[in-house]
Amino acid sequence: MAFEAIKAQIETLLEQMENQPEDKHELYLQLHEKLNEWRATGQPVPQDLLDLEAELEAEFSEEQG
Protein backbone atom coordinates (compact mmCIF):
# COMPACT_ATOMS: atom_id res chain seq x y z
CA MET A 1 0.00 0.00 0.00
CA ALA A 2 1.33 3.45 -0.85
CA PHE A 3 2.64 5.66 1.92
CA GLU A 4 0.06 8.39 1.22
CA ALA A 5 -2.79 5.89 1.48
CA ILE A 6 -1.56 4.69 4.88
CA LYS A 7 -1.22 8.29 6.05
CA ALA A 8 -4.80 9.04 4.96
CA GLN A 9 -6.11 5.97 6.77
CA ILE A 10 -4.32 7.03 9.97
CA GLU A 11 -5.87 10.49 9.72
CA THR A 12 -9.30 8.87 9.40
CA LEU A 13 -8.65 6.70 12.46
CA LEU A 14 -7.62 9.74 14.50
CA GLU A 15 -10.82 11.52 13.53
CA GLN A 16 -12.83 8.46 14.56
CA MET A 17 -11.08 8.41 17.95
CA GLU A 18 -12.21 11.96 18.54
CA ASN A 19 -15.78 11.32 17.39
CA GLN A 20 -16.30 7.83 18.83
CA PRO A 21 -14.36 7.56 22.11
CA GLU A 22 -16.37 4.48 23.13
CA ASP A 23 -14.60 2.52 20.36
CA LYS A 24 -11.17 3.71 21.47
CA HIS A 25 -9.65 0.25 21.97
CA GLU A 26 -10.68 -1.01 18.55
CA LEU A 27 -9.41 2.18 16.96
CA TYR A 28 -6.11 1.80 18.84
CA LEU A 29 -5.68 -1.68 17.37
CA GLN A 30 -6.33 -0.32 13.89
CA LEU A 31 -3.92 2.57 14.49
CA HIS A 32 -1.24 0.15 15.66
CA GLU A 33 -1.73 -1.94 12.51
CA LYS A 34 -1.50 1.13 10.24
CA LEU A 35 1.62 2.37 12.01
CA ASN A 36 3.20 -1.03 11.44
CA GLU A 37 2.36 -0.69 7.74
CA TRP A 38 3.89 2.81 7.81
CA ARG A 39 7.05 1.42 9.43
CA ALA A 40 7.23 -1.21 6.69
CA THR A 41 7.46 1.55 4.07
CA GLY A 42 10.72 2.70 5.65
CA GLN A 43 9.33 6.16 6.32
CA PRO A 44 9.89 7.61 9.80
CA VAL A 45 6.75 7.67 11.92
CA PRO A 46 6.03 11.14 13.33
CA GLN A 47 6.79 11.42 17.03
CA ASP A 48 3.27 12.55 17.93
CA LEU A 49 1.85 9.32 16.50
CA LEU A 50 4.47 7.26 18.33
CA ASP A 51 3.56 9.08 21.55
CA LEU A 52 -0.15 8.46 20.98
CA GLU A 53 0.46 4.79 20.30
CA ALA A 54 2.52 4.43 23.50
CA GLU A 55 -0.06 6.35 25.57
CA LEU A 56 -2.94 4.20 24.34
CA GLU A 57 -0.95 1.01 24.80
CA ALA A 58 -0.19 1.97 28.41
CA GLU A 59 -3.83 2.87 29.03
CA PHE A 60 -5.11 -0.48 27.77
CA SER A 61 -2.37 -2.41 29.57
CA GLU A 62 -3.44 -0.81 32.87
CA GLU A 63 -7.07 -1.76 32.22
CA GLN A 64 -6.10 -5.39 31.69
CA GLY A 65 -3.65 -5.62 34.59
Instruction: Give the contacts of 35 (CB within 8 A, at least 6 positions apart).
Output: 10, 45, 49, 50, 53
Q: Where are the domains of the chain?
A: 3-64
pLDDT in tens, 6-32: 888 888 888 887 887 777 788 888 889
Largest CA distance in the chain: 37
Q: What is the pTM of this model?
A: 0.73
Read off the pLDDT of residues 29-60 as tens digits, 9 standing for 90 and up: 888 999 999 999 999 999 998 998 999 899 88
Q: How far is CA 42 from CA 5, 18, 31, in A?
A: 14, 28, 17
Residue 1 has pLDDT above 70, yes or no: no
Q: Is residue 44 within 8 Å of residue 34, measured between CB atoms?
A: no
